[in-house]
Amino acid sequence: MTSKVHLDHAHLLHLLKAMIRIRRFEAKCVELYQAQEILGFLHLYDGEEAVSVGVIEALTPQDAIIATYREHGQALARGVDPGCLMAEMMGKLNGCCRGRGGSMHFFDRSHRFYGGNAIVGGGLPLALGVALADKMQGRSSVTACFFGEGAVDEGEFHETLNLAKLWRLPILFVCENNRYSMGMAVERAEADIDFVHKASGYRIAGEKVDGMDVVAVESAAKNAVDRVRSDSEPYFLECQTYRFRAHSMFDAQLYRSKDEVEEWRKKGPILRFRTWLEANRLIKAEELSTIEEAVEKEIAAAVAFAAAGGLEPVSEIDRFVTMEAIPS
Amino acid sequence: MSAPQTNPTATRITYREACKQALREALLADSRVFLMGEDIGRYGGCYAVTKGLLKEFGEERIRDTPLSESAFVGAGVGAAMAGMRPIVEIMTVNFSLLALDQILNNAVTIPHMSGGQFAIPLVIRMATGGGRRVAAQHSRSLEGWYAHIPGLRILTPATVEDARFMLKGALADPNPVIIFEHVMLYNMESDLSSDVTEVDIARAMTHRPGRDVSLITYGGSLSKALQAADALAADGIEAEVIDLRVLRPLDTKAILESVSKTRRCVIIDEGWRSGSISAEIGMRIVEEAFFELDAPLRRVCSREVPIPYAAHLEDACLPQTATIVAAARELVRPT
Ligand SMILES: Cc1ncc(C[n+]2csc(CCOP(=O)(O)OP(=O)(O)O)c2C)c(N)n1
């Protein structure tokens, strides 16, 4: 039953590239934010790349994804075009949502990407519905539902886990435990910091995985997805990770020390994976620079695409308040 | 159900039965339709609307849910996004507050915020209103609140015919629709003509024409307004009774036409007065038909208190026929 992660060379480089793409994309977001090309709230994913890359690697295009406002990594790992994500953040008509959602609200129907959601916990009930619809329509799809550990404190989390188990819905719950919800340390928020244990309270099986190790995440996710699909049962993955940057762009980070962040940076998923590849002679210096150059180009192309985009005419602002038809 | 079109006959049914027939018809017509809600299956529905449907359609399509309003309403939103046509029952509007996040932040937001990538063809039914001596936490009328929200269609069937046929229109709408069924109407009986097979879900309806004063209302207050019109007629005052039927989008045209004719208007709304749908209606009249008016606007609303249990207190809080009559009379024949 267990699916082995193919540790072939090309796949390893693919994983590395996917993580570097996210890291560079976020760095570009910061630049554009400082230049006031991107406005509003911006939640970056640095440090957590292995989670979305590893999990989404285990999904098929027929599977569905639900994410949070910190969803750049999920969208990129899913293969949504970086250009339309960048354009979305720059408020452009060629953005994935015409510039209406911004950083926190990427949607892409063609990739079954059911959205970033800026209400903590708000996406979880949607996962029930998407999985239920798939099940009732005879599709064998899995819904991957990403959320931060902060969402576990919301009632919607508990309602959703109970129903998911009760109705045997094919949902992979992915708890991105980055140890803080804004400034609230996990130990200060939880009576029990063992999230897998919490899931077991709903008789949902699960496991903790080192969210800084992309291969470990991918391997756990593959097994989990297989299991969810074949048993039509939810499963719970707690990915233990860390957010390197501030919560959003307005955060003086008074709640943690620089040393703590530095310690975690040393365990960073890209650094760690690259070091491992190098130590095992699985990557050559040229290969790394080829990846880095290719990603640089992609990001530059994304920014160019976004910059070239026009603005949605204000006269169209009422469109889709109510829909005229159901898109197919 | 299968009565021939050519030979219309009327059957006498209750509002409750009409709601059930509508659900049954929807389940038969479209395999993507399914029902979710608390105690809709084995229990038969807290107002017995869904009684018998579990037996006929099975547990897959008549889904009893645990007490998790947010989760099952959100599940309705997600299922609608992924190709189903869910009908979600929330026992009463009072409990819908626990699902407000899913209704407001997801159901009505995602179509617009996703740039039109997703429609949410979701129908939510809930009971509303007071009069059953069940005290404040079970007696609210919050349909006016919901009518505040762009992207929703708000239906308030006040007749057996609307209870029977509004659902069909709601399911054909690609947008989230909330149907508010007033608790005092479930036992109401009325003739349902078999030559009617659908109703519109866009327009208000004139139940009784009149030239002296417009009584504009909806839902549970319609029957009170009609009784008031009878009483006023005995006094020589001809009241026109308008049933709004749809609180969002409001049929402003029908309101303005009536008021332009009668030049006087009483709005009857079981919601609280402040910031209410009655305030919205009044403001639209002032904006668009101010110079047509011969008298100030009047409102009969619920008293601004949590609706109490004791019968005499509850009665004093809700709009009543006598208060409607008094308000209308005062406008037509000021003392
Ligand atoms: C219901 C709700 N409450 C509060 C907030 C404000 N808020 C935004 S993000 C956040 C922290 C959430 O932390 P977590 O779920 O762990 O995710 P992370 O940001 O760490 O990825 C809070 C409190 C919100 N958006 N929604």
Give yes or no for B88 touching A (CB within 8 A): no
Residue A150 Cα to ligand 1 midpoint, Å, equals: 6
**Between residues B195 and B200, the one the model is more confident about:** B200
Q: What is the pLDDT of residues B274-332, one digit of tens each?
A: 999 999 999 999 999 999 999 999 999 999 999 999 999 999 999 999 999 999 999 99
> How many angstroms separate the CA atoms of A64 and A174, rounded?
13
ipTM for the whole complex: 0.95
Q: How many percent of chain B have pLDDT more than 70?
A: 98
Across the interface, whether the CB atoms of B102 and A125 are under 8 A apart is answered yes
Residues of B labelled as active-site residues: 69, 138
Question: Any chain B CB within 8 A of the CB of A97?
Answer: yes
* pLDDT score of B334: 80
Model confidence band, residue B9 (pLDDT cutoffs 50, 70, 90): confident
Task: Look at residue A7 in the predicted model and tell me its pLDDT.
Answer: 77
Rg of chain A over CA atoms, in angstroms?
A: 19
Give yes or no for residue B5 having a pLDDT over 90: no
Please indicate if any CB of chain A lies within 8 Å of the CB of B123. no
- Asked if pLDDT for residue B335 goes beyond 80, the answer is no
Q: What is the pLDDT of residues A7-52, one digit of tens each?
A: 799 999 999 999 999 999 999 999 999 999 999 999 999 999 999 9
Q: Does domain B11-193 have CATH number 3.40.50.970?
A: yes
For residue A318, give both structure tokens.
């009422």
Q: Give the separation between CA A18 and CA A54, rounded to whole angstroms.
A: 10
> How far is it, in rounded angstroms, from Cα A90 to Cα A88?
5
Pair B247, B156: CB distance under 8 Å? yes
**Main-chain dihedrals φ then ψ at residue B30, nearest 5 degrees:** -145, 120
Q: pLDDT band for B8, please (50, 70, 90 cuts).
A: low
Q: Is A148 in the pocket of ligand 1 (CB under 6 A)?
A: yes
A92: tokens are 């452009």
Residue A271 beta carbon below 6 angstroms from any ligand 1 atom:
no
A185 lines ligand 1 (CB under 6 A): no
Q: Ligand 1 pocket check: which of A26, A182, A190, A256 to mutate, most ligand atoms within 8 Å of Cβ?
A: A182
Tell me the average pLDDT of chain B.
Answer: 96
Ligand 1: centre distance to CA A25 (Å): 22
Ligand 1 site, residue A74, Cβ cutoff 6 A:
no
**CATH 3.40.50.920 domain residues, chain B:** 205-332
By C-alpha distance, which of A280, A285, A292, A291 is closest to A7?
A280
B72 chain-A contacts, CB cut-off 8 A: 125, 128, 163
Q: CB contact, 8 Å: A166 with chain B?
A: yes
CB–CB of A105 and B86 under 8 A?
Answer: no
Give residue B208's pLDDT band: very low, low, confident or very high (50, 70, 90): very high
A-chain CB neighbours of B174 within 8 Å are 322-326
Phi, psi of B209 (to 5 degrees): -80, 155
Residue B2 has a pLDDT of: 42
Token pair for B144: 């006016």
CATH topology of domain B205-332: Rossmann fold (3.40.50)
Statement: residue B18 has pLDDT above 60: yes
- Exposed (0-12), middle (13-18) or buried (19+): which is A308, by Cβ within 10 Å? exposed
Tell me the CATH number of domain A9-306, given options 3.40.50.2020, 3.40.50.970, 3.40.50.300, 3.40.50.2000. 3.40.50.970
> What local confidence, expressed as pLDDT, does residue A328 receive?
86
Say yes or no: CB of residue A269 within 6 Å of ligand 1.
no
Residue the block writes with tokens 């937001």: B109
**Hey, is the C-beta of A151 within 8 angstroms of any chain B C-beta?**
no
**Which parts of chain A register pLDDT below 50?**
1-2
Q: What is the pLDDT, as a whole number, of residue B3? A: 42
Task: At B135, give phi and psi (nearest 5°).
Answer: 70, 180
According to DSSP, the β-strands at A180-181 and A184-185 are: antiparallel
Q: How confident is the model at residue B333 (pLDDT cuts 50, 70, 90)?
A: confident
Verify whether the Cβ–Cβ distance A107 to B83 is below 8 Å: no
HEC letters along A191-233 = CCCCHHHHHHCCCCCEEEEECCCHHHHHHHHHHHHHHHHHHCC
Express each pLDDT in B135-192 by its tens digit.
999 999 999 999 999 999 999 999 999 999 999 999 999 999 999 999 999 999 999 9
What is the residue whose two structure tokens read 């790349």?
Answer: A49
Read off the pTM: 0.96
pLDDT digits (tens, 9 = 90+) for B87-139: 999 999 999 999 999 999 999 999 999 999 999 999 999 999 999 999 999 99
Cβ neighbours around B224 below 10 Å, total: 23
Q: What is the mean pLDDT of chain A?
A: 97
- A87 contacts on B by Cβ (under 8 Å): none
**Nearest CB to B174 within list A128, A321, A323:** A323
Q: Is the peptide bond before B249 cis (omega within 30 degrees of 0)?
A: yes
Q: Where are the domains of chain A?
A: 9-306
- Residue A144 phi/psi, 5-degree rounding, is -95, 120
DSSP track, B181-230? EEGGGTT-EEEEETT-----SS--EEEE--SSEEEEE-GGGHHHHHHHHH
A180 lines ligand 1 (CB under 6 A): yes
User: What region does A102 belong to: left with phi over 0, alpha with psi -120 to 50, or beta?
Assistant: left
